[in-house]
Structure 1
Amino acid sequence: MANGNEICRMDAVTLAGKVRAKELSPVEVIDASLERMDKLEPVLHAFCTPGPDQARAAAKQLEADIMAGKDPGPLAGVPIGIKDLICTKDLPTASGSHAYKDFNGGVDDIVVERLRAAGAIVTGKTNVPEFGYSGVGHNPVFETTRNPWDLERTPGGSSAGAGAAVASGMGPFAIGSDGGGSVRIPASFSGLVGIKASMGRVPLWPGTKDETLPGVSSWESLECIGPISRTVADSALMLSVIAGPDMRDRRTLPDAEFDWMDCLKGDLKGLRVAYSADWGYTPVDPEVRQIVGDAVKVFESELGCTVVEADPGWDDPYGAFWGLVAAETDLVGMRKLVDEHAHHMTPHLIDFLRTPFTAEDLTSAVMARKGVANKSAAFMADYDLLLTPTLSVPAFALHIQGLEKVDGQIVPPFQWLAFTFPFNMTGQPAASVPAGFTKGGLPVGLQIVGRHLDDP
């Protein structure tokens, strides 16, 4: 019989297989996961709202179903944390904000419905910055999430708790959301795999859709829900469950004409690959540049690709990105929240919401997105894949929004996100995979970007 540590080291594919084969019971699996949470949560604060009672009840029900001969599903008994921006019917969704501290809408988001139906067991809600308007892991309500690789550093966000939970073995994977990099950021900072599928592959509701919930209703044309995992196979397994159309999300695509698990087969031989180390305009930490550059060489030397150094050629769209965020934010509703809760809201979020945006600011952002998408499409016509650093820097200290000096240059505090958010603007599939470690032992991610809808 496997002990708790052995169970926590197993990937989701293995765990689900053993539960289906009755080699492990879902109760054993959840007990191991919850025991690890009990040990690590006082230090890491990955879960803002643990759900041990709900998880144990679900595990016992699944065990009874298995003994009765029912199909336990492809995720049979696998523990999973749900990001605290994604609604759950049996746990509150506070979104890292005092305005929603006790909120429970009584409904599961579509992806949570699908995960539960596939046999996954929710162990709790994972921590986020307030409303997800940040790439780190602190908020005004809960304890700050810490990076398992260095407790004095951020695990990245906004899927901060998801990254910390998976990196520390509290579960083999977790569900995150990515409006500007928020799946790929914690994957890079925490040594994990994070995948943002093409816009529309995975449905969202009520997240980004419910007009009655200011803050929750934001980011509609930018946000993609996706997996954070320790293996690529586990991310594919989750996507095989959560992807597919739903009438509640008008942006969802028809079912994919491929099998997510079949994407693990084959090789990359003969692919033409572009590599941009800095977009031609953004400073990058020298150690990150070296580590990612060495990883890129493997595509040519070992995987049979042709690698060309090239930049897509767009101007920095940082300002336009935040214009899009503003256009999809309920500014009336959220400004009312500021009026009521400003004394305990995140300062940079207050500043953003109080910005006097003009109609021209917002329409210019829309036009800029068209320009980025057009340049990206023209660029990718010549390449099968685009490689970049996932982030400009390794994990940095807690309780800041970002470094203001990178490779000797003074930069805005969010400049370290320069590689991720353009692909929320274009909707292209993008993933972060581990590339190596700094001399100080911090993980560094490599971003892999595909053509429009070319998720395989």
Structure 2
Amino acid sequence: MNEDVWPAVSEIADRVRSGSVSASSLVRKANDRIAALDDRFNAMCTVTPGLAEAQAAHIDDRVGRGDVVGPLAGVPYAVKDLINTEGVRTTSGSVAYRDFVPDEDDIVVERCRAAGAVSIGKTNASEFGYSATGQNPLFPTTRNPWNTALTPGGSSAGTAAAVAGELVPFALGSDGGGSIRIPAAFCGLVGFKASMGRVPVYPGCRDERFPGASGWESVEHIGPLCRTVADVVTVMKVLAGPDPRDRHSIPTSDVEWEPAVGETVRGLRVALSLDFGYLAVDPEIRTIVGRAVETLRSTLGCEVTTADPGWPEPGTEFAALIMSETDLTGMRAMVDEVGDQMSPHLVELVTTDWTAEDFTHANMWRKAVVNRMARFMADHDVLITPTTSVAAFPVGVQGPTVIDGRSVTDTAWQGFTFPANLSGQPAISVPAGLTSTGLPVGMQIIGRHLDDATVLRLASAWESTAGFPEWKPSGATHGEPCP
């Protein structure tokens, strides 16, 4: 096994607080890795070395004075380009926002800074998040560190590539239909979407002044992509908690984040669905996830039942739902102005002749999914599925059109993730194994309403059994380990 470039997030912060390593040296390490590797990955779209160095120097000064510094002291991280950063360009992957510089941070950025983390820049993303691949018209296409001919998934494409490529120890992504979990699956990472409102979101998806950036409100989540479940827990303790600027935000008093790692899962009631009863799934994905769940049963003592939740097979309802939450007037004006420089699939969505019936039908379908899920979860502690129907595929396409011999739409491979956005339930993607060609496969664990702790507890138990932090792309291991 190659030695990790970055140790655990909590260990990095401990070293900075103790004075055994400086925040400034960590920033130099991150910037050196970006300079050496990112021309292959295109993970970063805006790098801010000067700002990062100034923040790191401030942390070092505080440590030198004996001040108390936060739980992420000196840890370099990166921020998805759909998440606002005060004074730093935030394009949302669109030419319409090519030069946009926010005048305020998103809440999660505020909290990371207060905890002592140091942002080294912004990560590439699909245009306004409307794609599960790493393409936008503004920046070079992000590529998967496991194989740079392949997509890292999206829309948090650069976020995943930055962590899988070990440019940074962790990074922030957003997830409106799977955009944290999908790239986590394709890049061999842990990606966590907490319960709706657990991590407050503002101004992203809530600021009515910015068409495109103001969509997805009832399904959007922000969360971390990390190499381990323990790192996710460390970051979540900083991100979680209510804020009055997000009307959906909820307390965290019912979640004990730390004990989530290392507790027993014996007797946990696990439902396994390998296709929801209707999805086309690559046979190798089925085998790998099925084998992982068998280990949960045989080694960890979980009670496993094969069952499908039973909601109606979706058609265009999810597309109609997210379009009903965007500023169609503003977006159509944007298409009129710069549509020839926008992502074609996004232009098609925006210019579709949506009807009121399309939107109300989508809302009724959502209610059906949420109600079926609630009844299903009354008999199960978690629902486990593949995270995606396929492993990573070549860049330049939205997805395969044939899976397991079935003709499908080029977005059908994403069908496992968005139900948890509709219901707001906590969901995580963890590595389940590697394909015969050496590509990572993700396993999704969906918890009961507001039961984030159980999701993390099971993910941690699987991580300890499987040893998946040892699985990493060879292209990410160049360079010396963190001091």
* TM-score > 0.5, shorter chain as reference: yes
SS at match of 2:301: coil
In the aligned structure 1, how far is the partner of 2:3 from the partner of 2:410?
40
In the aligned structure 2, how far is the partner of 1:323 from the partner of 1:423?
17
Equivalent residues of 1:7, 1:32 under 8 A apart: no
Which of 347, 366, 369 matches 1:369? 366
Q: Tell me if 1:448 matches 2:442.
A: no
Q: Tell me if 1:436 matches 2:433.
A: yes
| Structure 1 segment 381-420 matched on structure 2, within 5 A | 381-420=378-417
1:120 aligns to what?
Answer: 117
In the aligned structure 2, how far is the partner of 1:255 from the partner of 1:289?
35
In the aligned structure 2, how far is the partner of 1:453 from the partner of 1:363?
27
Which of 277, 286, 289 matches 2:286? 289
In the aligned structure 1, how far is the partner of 2:3 from the partner of 2:16?
14
In the aligned structure 2, how far is the partner of 1:172 from the partner of 1:455?
22
Q: Structure 1: where are the runs of 5+ without partners?
A: none
Shift of 1:9: 2.6
Equivalent residues of 1:8, 1:171 under 8 A apart: no
Which of 308, 313, 331 matches 2:310? 313
1:65 aligns to what?
Answer: 62
Give the residue type in structure 2 aligned to 1:346: S
In the aligned structure 1, how far is the partner of 2:3 from the partner of 2:268?
38
Give the residue type in structure 1 aligned to 2:124: N
Equivalent residues of 1:276, 1:311 under 8 A apart: yes
2:266 aligns to what?
Answer: 269
Which of 158, 176, 179 matches 1:179? 176
Shift of 1:263: 1.3
Give the residue type in structure 2 aligned to 1:393: V
Equivalent residues of 2:155, 2:179 under 8 A apart: yes
Shift of 1:318: 4.4
In the aligned structure 1, how far is the partner of 2:315 from the partner of 2:413?
11
Equivalent residues of 1:8, 1:33 under 8 A apart: no
1:18 aligns to what?
Answer: 15
2:161 aligns to what?
Answer: 164
Equivalent residues of 1:321, 1:425 under 8 A apart: no
In the aligned structure 2, how far is the partner of 1:440 from the partner of 1:54?
41
| Compared CA separation, residues 72 and 6, structure 1 to 2 (3 A) | farther
SS at match of 2:263: coil
Equivalent residues of 2:87, 2:102 under 8 A apart: no
Provide, for residues 401-428 of structure 1, a one-character-per-residue CA deviation record: whole Å limited to 9, x for no partner.
Answer: 1111100011011000010011101111
1:351 aligns to what?
Answer: 348
Equivalent residues of 1:240, 1:259 under 8 A apart: no
| Structure 1 segment 214-253 matched on structure 2, within 5 A | 214-253=211-250
2:86 aligns to what?
Answer: 89
Provide, for residues 279-338 of structure 1, a one-character-per-residue CA deviation record: whole Å limited to 9, x for no partner.
Answer: 110110111111111111011011111100000001123422111101101000000000
Which of 32, 35, 41 matches 1:35? 32
SS at match of 1:82: strand
Give the residue type in structure 1 aligned to 2:429: S
| Compared CA separation, residues 318 and 231, structure 1 to 2 (3 A) | farther
SS at match of 2:371: helix
Shift of 1:72: 1.5
Give the residue type in structure 2 aligned to 1:229: C
Provide, for residues 374-431 of structure 1, a one-character-per-residue CA deviation record: whole Å limited to 9, x for no partner.
Answer: 0000000000011000000000000111111100011011000010011101111000
In the aligned structure 2, how far is the partner of 1:317 from the partner of 1:67?
57
Equivalent residues of 1:318, 1:418 under 8 A apart: no
SS at match of 1:8: coil
Shift of 1:258: 2.4
In the aligned structure 1, how far is the partner of 2:289 from the partner of 2:231?
23
Moved >6 Å (runs of 4+): none
Provide, for residues 60-110 of structure 1, a one-character-per-residue CA deviation record: whole Å limited to 9, x for no partner.
Answer: 111001111111200011111100000001211001100000101221000
Q: Structure 2: where are the runs of 5+ without partners?
A: 454-483
Provide, for residues 177-225 of structure 1, a one-character-per-residue CA deviation record: whole Å limited to 9, x for no partner.
Answer: 0000000001000000000000010101100100000011000000000
1:147 aligns to what?
Answer: 144
In the aligned structure 1, how far is the partner of 2:122 from the partner of 2:403?
33
In the aligned structure 2, how far is the partner of 1:6 from the partner of 1:368?
48
Provide, for residues 22-45 of structure 1, a one-character-per-residue CA deviation record: whole Å limited to 9, x for no partner.
Answer: 111101111111111110111111
After the TM superposition, which of the residue ranges 404-413 and 261-270 deviates more from structure 2? Answer: 261-270
Give the residue type in structure 2 aligned to 1:162: T
In the aligned structure 1, how far is the partner of 2:401 from the partner of 2:220?
26
Give the residue type in structure 1 aligned to 2:246: D
Equivalent residues of 2:88, 2:102 under 8 A apart: no
Q: TM-score, normalised by structure 2?
A: 0.92
Equivalent residues of 2:6, 2:166 under 8 A apart: yes
Equivalent residues of 2:153, 2:392 under 8 A apart: yes
Give the residue type in structure 2 aligned to 1:74: P
In the aligned structure 2, how far is the partner of 1:243 from the partner of 1:150?
34
In the aligned structure 2, how far is the partner of 1:281 from the partner of 1:87?
38
Between the two proteins, the alignment pairs up a number of residues equal to 452
2:479 aligns to what?
Answer: none
| Structure 1 segment 95-110 matched on structure 2, within 5 A | 95-110=92-107
| Percent of pairs with identical residues | 53
Equivalent residues of 1:404, 1:410 under 8 A apart: yes
1:423 aligns to what?
Answer: 420
Provide, for residues 225-266 of structure 1, a one-character-per-residue CA deviation record: whole Å limited to 9, x for no partner.
Answer: 011000001111111101110010011012332221221131
